[in-house]
Amino acid sequence: MFNYYFGLAVRSLRRNIVLTVLMIAAVGVGIGASMTTLTVFRAMDNDPIPQKSRQLFAVQIDNWGPDTKSVAAGDKERFQEQLSYIDAVALMNAKAAHRQIAMYKTGAALTPANPQLLPFQVQIRATYTDFFPMFQTPFLAGGAWSADDDKNHADVAVITQKLNDKVFGGGNSIGKTINLDNHEFRIVGILATWEPTPQFYDLNNDTFAEGAAIYLPFTRAIDGQMPSWGNNNCNGDIGQPGWEGRLRSECVWIQFWAELPTPAAVENYRTFLNNYATEQQHLGRFHWPAHTRIRDVREWLAYQHVVSDEYRILVLVSFSFLLVCLLNAMGLMLAKIMGRAGDIGVRRALGASRRAIFGQCLIEAGVVGLAGGLLGLGLTALGLLGLRSLLSEEVSRLTHFSTADIMIAIVLAVVATTLAGLYPTWRAAQVQPAWQLKAQ
Amino acid sequence: MEFRPILSAMRRNKVGAILIAVQMAITLAILCNALFLIEQRAGWSKRPTGTDEPNVVVIENQWVGNPPDLSARLQGDLAALRSLPGVQDAASSNTYPLSGGGSTTGLSLKPDQKNATAPASIYFGDEHTIAAFGLKLIAGRNFNSDEIVDKVGYTDIKPPAGIIITRALAETLFPGGSAVGRSIYVDQGQQGQIPIVGVIERMQVPWTGAGGWGSKFSESSLLMPFHFLSSYPTYYIVHAQPGQAAEVIQAAKKKLFDISRARVVEKTLTLTTARAEAYKDDKGLIVILAVVCASLLAVTSFGIVGLTSYWVAQRRRQIGIRRALGATRNAIIQYFQTENLLIAGAGALIGIGLAVSLNLWMVNIFAMQRLNTGYALAGAIVVLVLGQAAVLWPALRAASIPPALATRAA
Amino acid sequence: MLKMTHLSKAYRTEVVETYALRDFSIHVREGEFVAVTGPSGSGKTTFLTIAGLLEEFSGGEYQLDGANVRGLNDNQRSRLRNEKIGFIFQAFNLITDLNVQDNIDVPLRYRGFNGAERRRRIQEALGRVGLSARSRHYPAELSGGQQQRVAIARALAGSPRLLLADEPTGNLDTQMARGVLDLLEELHRDGATIVMVTHDPELAVRAQREVHIVDGQVVDLAAQPRLVATANANT
């Protein structure tokens, strides 16, 4: 029967081509607008590491206390999102988690071996060896540096494939060195493309950016006095002058992550952190009771407000637009179906049950939805192209259409249009079979 | 025009009429909120920085390694840049307006004040900075060259000999009074008393995000008399003669690399370009919202055309009979226009309510401002006019139905 | 075949309740050709809509082909209508955007026949009404008489037990009307049960038996059959 209804739907749609085009256009435009924004929204709201997002935790320790102005009044959840060097080192030494890393963003001038080439700027992430297994970074060659390298503040580096291509023209560059601000670093690993979106592990500056080109041991970067290129927040008290002063200050500039594979581990770590903060209170460093938090990746992204208000509003606006388009299509469907009441009456007289009429009209609505969805896909592609030219490079990275997005568009179009078609269809099923006899 | 027959006809097409009214209501709600947002963002992205944007060139400079003679290199670079043809003046700074990144401090009136009186963004500079940015000194004096000292990275903490602040900051600190000659404290008084030596008319903070960091104190900036020496990238601010920015950029790059190749010049741009980049997403948002609004109006009006055409077709015979009974063409047109006015009027009323509640909701959820009621009223007028325009074509078609139709069989 | 006993049908409005049929009894036997006549507003059409299961009735009994149809739900009624009844309407009621064979196909689809069976029945029905050559024409391309023959073919295709015709020649000129009536008679001779509603006495005499309805009740024609027949003969 489906084939028959489908054929009828196509025939019926072809009969009143103007109404049909209006309906399909309405659905298509609505789907196009909503899918364009939804695609970007989904990319922003993406879980960048789904297989581990419930096991990786960002760590917060309140080292400024409750009467800090930057802490939102009365909101115990809002406090500094990074750690001081003192706390970062203490937590690294405690090794209370399955894996843990402290890290920060820095940068340098890279001088290519070829003297003809000019030095260029590179973004660097100073971190620990566990960064790589924790975040499951894919290696093209080599691997992470060793725990000993961390301990020895070694001159080693992991670089990205992109940088390897740029500096060495590709190939296996393990063992070669790169020159960063006149210091040579030995390459131990080359990362294949790894661009988690959003860049959950450090959301301070470049939420959707490319990430670092080079990874160095944290201990080595501190030795080299490589300053943080990310957010440094000192809460008024900037500490003593000089690098050593900064390391001993309560300025926060280090991201800290812990891998806690089981609920028990999570609980233990919470306890550990509170004990640590309480100990700091006893030592006289903190003048307030322990105030710490750990948040897994999804909680962290929500907490950090990764999807900006603008995009939430945009999604809201575009889905309201879709609603208008559907109401529109619904009005047109109603007009179309009521215009066909005669035919429906005849069909009813010839033995079509209410259910049959209902099915027939609903499939017609579904066909409109399908056609609208296909049109909408085209418009979404155009819309994303438009966004790419309109928006900054950072956001443009989020304008790519995945297979899932295509599925969502089609399903959304068909389901939404069918829902919009429910009322007209119900009206159609109410047409009395006797109608034609009476109307004479 | 009598309403009663129209209302009773509408009662029979109840759902169709409701659908149109609801569409118009939502259209109105989105339209005026979107236009409001567009207007706000357009205004936000047009705020002046206080600098001579088209002629101010920014050159990002990063030294390779940490050369010990950074101070001399910086002075050499600046002297060379100032000597270039087409250059009015040049200075160096840690950041520049529209850059999106910078440093903030809290200013206090007393040394041991727990919470600062006013936050402000910090620009490091020397006696050339005001001229290099094209700022306007309105009170006090510029820095003297002997006040300028080197600051080696952000961790090099030392008190400035004096500061120059913006008028907006001066008014926040000393409402109604003069700021020049007064003193303030930074960093909880760790640097001691700092005298204010001058006031500039305007200098925007480096951050540009609407509702983002710095948006609450976007006019509060201060200049500190430091030559910033760092392994960070720093910025040469070069004020070109009007219209010569492009030539100056080329000449400056060449000059800098002639002096030394051990540097990275990651980017060179004018502040006009910096503005375009800084507000690209805001502009994008404006365009997207405008496109959605236009599509919304188009879809709604096509919907009205479609549904009204159907009603006309449905009532052909009835209209023919009316014509036969003496109704003029105008009477028929008026009938449909009045009908649409009633529907759109209802839609506009609901829409105004919807627009205001949508706005209130967004004020709560998002960092959105209270809607100006003028927008809701303007939106209502747009929707009413749109309805009248959309209904015109089907109404004209209805008016062209011949009275003779009444005599023919259905 | 069709048996109504003490059947009544009331239409309720807010103010009054009017009976379209009251204590209405009729029995049509298998193979009969019955004409139902009566003045305008007498209840003929109401009778037909109830007989065709297009509407429900208020009281009494109705047995169609031995089955009591009282209280059946919409699905069951649709099914019965589809299997047992063929309709022939005054206005033909062909679906204008379906061609001849697709029109005939409509009830067969709802019947659930497979493709081969449907094609066979369409051909056979078209053959019956002499329109095999027109199977791909659209209603608008046919004359009124041809359209009505398509409608008859559509009514026949499902091999219904009962044909219900409502003024089948009402929209046709005399010559076309004669052709359609000849066809109905031929169907009757072949064993079809036909109930035809008409206000045209000339048509009524072509039926085997005439049932006259006045004010929603059957008037006993046995008392005055000659009179009607004579009056008809004289016109």
Residue of A437, A438, A440 to mutate when probing chain C, most C C-beta within 10 A: A437
Integer Cα distance of B324 and B322 in angstroms: 5
Token pair belonging to B113 = 């004040």
The answer to whether B199 touches B179, Cβ cutoff 8 Å, is: yes
Note whether A353 contacts C74, CB cutoff 8 Å: yes
The predicted structure's pLDDT at residue C225: 47
Find the CB nearest A236 among B188, B288, B306: B188
* Cβ contacts of A1 on chain C, cutoff 8 Å: 109, 112
The predicted structure's pLDDT at residue A434: 61
Q: Which of A102-106, B125-129, B184-188 has the lowest mean pLDDT?
A: B184-188
* Cβ contacts of A336 on chain B, cutoff 8 Å: 310
How far A420 CA sits from the closest chain C CA (Å)? 25
Find the CB nearest A241 among B63, B155, B231: B155
The predicted structure's pLDDT at residue A66: 82
Find the CB nearest B280 among A120, A339, A391: A391
Please write the tens of the pLDDT for every residue from C84-115.
999 888 888 888 878 899 899 988 988 888 98
Note whether A328 contacts B292, CB cutoff 8 Å: no
Sign of CA dihedral B63, B69, B75, B79: negative
Under the banding of pLDDT at 50, 70 and 90, the label for residue B410 is very low
Please write the tens of the pLDDT for every residue from C185-213.
888 988 889 999 888 888 888 888 888 88
* Cβ contacts of A345 on chain C, cutoff 8 Å: 93
Note whether C49 contacts A11, CB cutoff 8 Å: no
The answer to whether A350 touches A68, Cβ cutoff 8 Å, is: no
Q: What ipTM, to 2 d.p.? A: 0.85
Taking residues C142-156, what's their average pLDDT? 90
The type of residue at C200 is D
The predicted structure's pLDDT at residue A70: 53
Closest CA to B264 of A169, A117, A228: A117
The predicted structure's pLDDT at residue A285: 92
Is pLDDT of C60 > 70? yes
* Cβ contacts of C48 on chain A, cutoff 8 Å: 437
Note whether A349 contacts C81, CB cutoff 8 Å: yes
Sign of CA dihedral B369, B373, B379, B380: positive
Please write the tens of the pLDDT for every residue from B144-159.
999 999 998 888 888 9
Collapse the DSSP code of A18 into the 3-class scheme (helix H, G, I; strand E, B; otherwise coil) and give the result. helix
Strand duo B194-200 + A214-217: pairing:
unpaired
Q: Is A335 on the interface with C (CB under 8 A)?
A: no
Q: Is A433 on the interface with C (CB under 8 A)?
A: yes
Integer Cα distance of A398 and A207 in angstroms: 11
The predicted structure's pLDDT at residue B197: 96
Is pLDDT of C230 > 60? no
Taking residues C31-52, what's their average pLDDT? 87
- Quick one: closest CA in B to A420, which residue? B19
Note whether C79 contacts A351, CB cutoff 8 Å: yes
* Cβ contacts of A330 on chain B, cutoff 8 Å: 19
Find the CB nearest A437 among C49, C79, C94: C49
The answer to whether A392 touches B280, Cβ cutoff 8 Å, is: yes
Taking residues B368-387, what's their average pLDDT? 86
**Residue A146 DSSP one-character state:** P
Strand order in the sheet with C2-12: C17-28, C2-12, C59-64, C67-68
Q: What is the mean pLDDT of chain B?
A: 89
Tracing tokens 């204008």 back to the chain, one arrives at C96
B57: left (phi over 0), alpha (psi -120 to 50) or beta: beta
The predicted structure's pLDDT at residue C194: 93
Strand duo C162-166 + C193-197: pairing:
parallel
Find the CB nearest A351 among C45, C111, C166: C111
Please write the tens of the pLDDT for every residue from A385-417.
998 888 888 888 888 888 888 999 999 999 999
Is pLDDT of B74 > 80? yes
- In chain A, which residues have pLDDT < 50? 437-440
* Cβ contacts of A232 on chain B, cutoff 8 Å: 154
